[in-house]
């Protein structure tokens, strides 16, 4: 076996091993996101997400590392047809929660279960919480107006780090919002008397049912981008091994 063949074979082994470790880390992260500990254990969340980030960055580095005899590779982030949804975008689940909270408060006031001030507070807080993310986005946009626009294409590593950073911020925001909005079946029994699903007034239940899909979707896009770059790199290495063996046989 020629030296080139040995080099390409070792490169292929490193790529496959790193890809396998990334898949294992992704599986652990997925199980945690779908568990009851998702919002309760932020240390485990940071540990698993940090491990996933390390594995992804290592894989990208291997994909982009120059190897004599292989064309250089520059992994780029996938170009999406539409911009990703912002953290506080107006969505049907949010609208359903707000509508249910207002309706429940209205019925409770009508039945003299709670004072009228509860209805006023529910309407004000619901509207404020719904549009608070948009207000933050507008302020942030004004601050960035004078900054240079980002290039049309972004390096895969930068895109991944930015995506995972958004997940960290979203997880932290959800955890602290649950601490502030702590309505549960025990603290707000009149919601239970109206027969409302807990996810419509319990902020913890709401996030546990809505956030996993968003987290899994974003991580899934990262994994798809990594898989595409891995298979492209793998094809180049395999072709290089075949050509090296053919050249060695002719010599």
* Domain map (residue ranges) of the chain: 3-77+212-250, 92-152
User: Token pair of 150, please?
Assistant: 């980002």
Confidence of residue 72 (pLDDT cuts 50, 70, 90): low
**Beta-carbon neighbour count of residue 220 at 10 Å?**
12
Between 19 and 71, the higher pLDDT residue: 19
| In the predicted structure, residue 147 carries a pLDDT above the cut 90 | no
pLDDT at 100: 59
Confidence of residue 51 (pLDDT cuts 50, 70, 90): very high
**Stretch 120-127: mean pLDDT, rounded?**
55
pLDDT at 197: 61
Distances (CA, A) of 24 to 18, 57, 201, 216: 10, 15, 36, 15
Confidence of residue 30 (pLDDT cuts 50, 70, 90): very high
Residue written as token pair 């072709």: 239
**Stretch 159-181: mean pLDDT, rounded?**
89
Confidence of residue 156 (pLDDT cuts 50, 70, 90): confident
167, 49 Cβ separation under 8 angstroms:
yes
Q: Is the pTM of this model over 0.85?
A: no
Confidence of residue 84 (pLDDT cuts 50, 70, 90): very low
Ordered DSSP codes for 220-234: HHHHHHHHHHHHHHH
User: Token pair of 166, please?
Assistant: 């958004």
Q: 74: Cβ–Cβ under 8 A, 6 or more apart, which residues?
A: 64, 155
Confidence of residue 87 (pLDDT cuts 50, 70, 90): very low
């Amino acid at each position: 076996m020629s030296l080139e063949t040995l080099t390409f074979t070792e490169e292929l082994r490193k790529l496959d091993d790193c890809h396998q470790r990334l898949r294992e880390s992704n599986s652990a992260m997925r199980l945690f996101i779908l568990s009851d500990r998702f919002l309760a254990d932020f240390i485990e969340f940071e540990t698993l997400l940090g491990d996933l980030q390390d594995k992804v960055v290592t894989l990208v580095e291997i994909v982009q590392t120059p190897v004599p005899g292989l064309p250089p590779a520059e992994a780029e982030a996938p170009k999406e047809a539409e911009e990703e949804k912002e953290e506080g975008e107006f969505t049907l689940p949010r609208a359903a929660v707000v509508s249910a909270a207002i309706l429940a408060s209205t019925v409770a006031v009508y039945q003299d279960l709670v004072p009228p001030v509860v209805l006023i507070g529910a309407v004000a807080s619901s509207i404020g919480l719904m549009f608070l993310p948009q207000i933050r986005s507008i302020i942030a946009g004004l601050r960035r107006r004078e900054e240079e626009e980002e290039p049309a294409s972004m390096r895969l590593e930068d895109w991944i780090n930015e995506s995972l950073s958004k997940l960290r911020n979203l997880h932290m925001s959800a955890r602290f919002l649950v601490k502030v909005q702590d309505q549960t079946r025990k603290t707000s029994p009149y919601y239970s008397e109206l027969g409302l699903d807990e996810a419509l007034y319990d902020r913890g239940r709401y996030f546990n049912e809505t956030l996993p899909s968003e987290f899994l979707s974003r991580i899934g896009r990262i994994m798809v981008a990594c898989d595409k770059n891995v298979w492209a790199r793998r094809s180049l290495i395999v072709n290089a091994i075949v050509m090296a063996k053919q050249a060695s046989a002719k010599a």
